[in-house]
A = this chain, B = another copy of it.
Amino acid sequence: MKSVSALQTARYAYQPKLPAVLRDNEPENVALEFGKPTTALADQAELASLFKHTYGKPEALFKKGANPAAGKKIRVGVILSGGQAPGGHNVIAGLYDGIKKGNKDSVVFGFTGGPSGLIDGEYVEITDSFMDEYRNTGGFDMIGSGRTKIETPEQYAASVATAKKLDLDAIVIIGGDDSNTNAALLAERFAELGEKTRVIGVPKTIDGDLKNEQIETSFGFDTACKTYSELIGNIGRDANSAKKYWHFIKLMGRSASHIALECALQTQPNVCLVSEEVEAQKMTLRRITDDICSVIAKRAANKENFGIVLIPEGLVEFIPEMKSLIAELNDTMAKHEAAFNALSDFAAKKAWLKSNLSAASYETFDSLPDAIAAQFLADRDPHGNVQVSRIETEKLLASMVEKRLAEMKKAGSYTGKFSAYTHFFGYEGRCAFPSNFDADYCYALGYTAFMLIASGVTGYLSSVRNLTAPAEKWTAGGIPLTMMMNMEQRHGSKKPVIRKALVELDGKPFKTFAAHRDEWAVKTSYLFPGAIQYYGPAEVCDLTTKTIKLERC
């Protein structure tokens, strides 16, 4: 049997594009041009004191210019951190190719299993043949990933020890907001100790919430959204062919609804919920249910007893009474852990909750279908908390809607037929072959990370911008990580963190959606984006996301 698929074989041959400045000049002829010193998003004084050696550095952009150090032999370690995102392997490929172009005797190590690989000193040396197996492929299987945070003094000490043992000139951390916060802290720590190891971050996450004035998009968002939109489009076409089912589709994206919103713009469903709007408008579960039912009733009046509803994964945490319920459950179950765990079945637990939750929260709990309510109590995370990502919000809504429609039918305000299917798309998109956009963007981010190392900076994020133009017109440079930070409450104390980007309700992507949703609700307007194409017409293969196009054009 074959060991790789036909597409994988073909993708090995793809040569990702670079910004012209990096493509057309040897590393020795590309140098950083520094702008003005920067400040943090907020809490500048606190951050300046926490990051004494790395705060306030200038933004920097690569231009043609002498960079004699770029040919030096260096030793670099790279880490994949957190959830998978398409293109991670291409970041490593760009970094590796840059480093080897700088000096063929330079060495690249991959820390295995995420940040714990740095702490525990577990790594592999990356060779040409090892690298070649992973070019333009999805997944993080090349060196694995993990969610360990470098937090304790012991973990910092172990990380420093590994860097010293391997004589590392730099560490590149490919991750989301938390991992890049970690990169900033680690950069500061090395600087403070006077160690030579520099730290560079790379913005990864399919969720699209690592984005700001300086970062146009995180990698993986493009491919993941296109994969989900392919499936939503296919289901929309099926719904419009069979004309008998409502499909409730939950989409990954816990803290922000960028994925759901982007997929809505790509597929034009009848309903798309946006957590940020639910929170801003304090929409209750009842209100959300009623809104969906109103769309269903309108469509039923047109004899269209089918439709598509998109639901962001984290929705329940943004519905006010559900948020309170979850907080109370976490609190109560933690406080009375032994007593709660001793209860044998759902009925006993429910009875117990009746006397241990506030009346309001118990009422909310009691209003849920049993099968869903049970999910709030089962599968708690290692801290004993409700595992929100295991709650089948798509089934919850389908079930609430079904119940409400039955009431409306009795009252004569609804005369259609309702039959629902539910879906959850997440794992399907995190490891797809990166789109040409993500393949190019990631390769450029990795190559830029090398150039930042070669330019001697630390505590910077690899930055590639002007992404709605063709790749050769992209710019490459670095952003001080502290520039994107503020102080936030985490586990009871104030911590420096990179601020997450939520969907802005006055931003163009949401406003575009909001301007069309009433029409899409009633009039079947589905788009069918189809499978991601890596070859063929440019207008198919080189599409960016609607989000970045609306935000940047």
Contact = CB atoms under 8 A, between A and B. Distances in A.
Interface string A393-407: 000000000000000
Given A1-B268, A141-B240, A235 B427 contact: yes
Contacts of A11: 530
A143 to B, nearest CB: 9
A237 B10 CA distance: 18
Interface in A394-452: 421, 423-424, 427-433
Interface stretch (A99-107, A241-249, A293-301, A494-502): A241-249
A340 B7 CA distance: 54
A531 interface: yes
Interface string A131-151: 000000111110011000000
A29 to B, nearest CB: 35
A227 interface: yes
B8 A530 contact: yes
A241 B530 contact: no
Contacts of A235: 427-428, 431
A334 interface: no
Copies of this chain assembled into the complex = 2
A194 interface: no
A533 interface: yes
Contacts of A525: 1, 3
Contacts of A374: 371
A532 B534 contact: no
B433 A528 contact: yes
A222 interface: no
A147 to B, nearest CB: 9
A247 B430 CA distance: 14
A241 B84 contact: yes
Contacts of A140: 241-242
A530 B5 contact: yes
A35 interface: no
A516 B2 CA distance: 12
A421 B432 contact: no
A45 interface: no
A356 interface: no
Most chain B beta-carbon neighbours within 10 Å: one of A5, A231, A240, A539 = A5
B539 A536 contact: no
A7 B540 contact: yes
A89 to B, nearest CB: 10
A537 to B, nearest CB: 5
Nearest to A390: B421
Contact of A535 (B137, B268, B429, B536): B536
Interface string A467-492: 00000000000000000000000000
Given A1-B268, A427-B247, A139 B8 contact: no
Interface in A200-238: 227, 230-231, 233-235, 237-238
Interface string A73-90: 000000000011000000
A4 interface: yes
Contacts of A527: 2-5, 8
Nearest to A232: B428
B537 A234 contact: no
Contacts of A539: 6, 9-10
Chain A interface size, under 10 / 10 to 19 / 20 to 34 / 35 or more: 35 or more
Given A8-B528, A140-B241, A431-B238, A536 B537 contact: no
A345 to B, nearest CB: 9
A238 B268 contact: no
Contacts of A535: 533, 535-537, 540
A543 interface: yes
Contacts of A371: 371, 374
A384 interface: no
A40 B243 CA distance: 37
Contacts of A320: none
A529 interface: yes
B433 A141 contact: no
A535 B11 CA distance: 13
29 contacts: A1-B525, A2-B527, A5-B233, A6-B540, A7-B528, A7-B531, A8-B527, A8-B530, A10-B537, A113-B243, A138-B234, A139-B238, A139-B240, A139-B241, A141-B241, A144-B241, A145-B241, A145-B242, A227-B234, A230-B531, A231-B231, A234-B427, A234-B431, A235-B428, A238-B430, A432-B531, A433-B530, A533-B533, A535-B536
Interface of A: 1-11, 83-84, 113, 137-141, 144-145, 227, 230-231, 233-235, 237-238, 240-243, 245, 247, 266, 268, 371, 374, 421, 423-424, 427-433, 516, 525, 527-537, 539-540, 543
Given A234-B428, A432-B530, A433-B528, 10 more contacts: A1-B525, A5-B530, A7-B528, A10-B536, A84-B242, A137-B237, A139-B240, A231-B428, A234-B431, A433-B531
- Minimum-distance CB pairs A-B, first 8: A535-B536, A531-B531, A237-B431, A139-B237, A7-B530, A140-B241, A238-B431, A535-B535
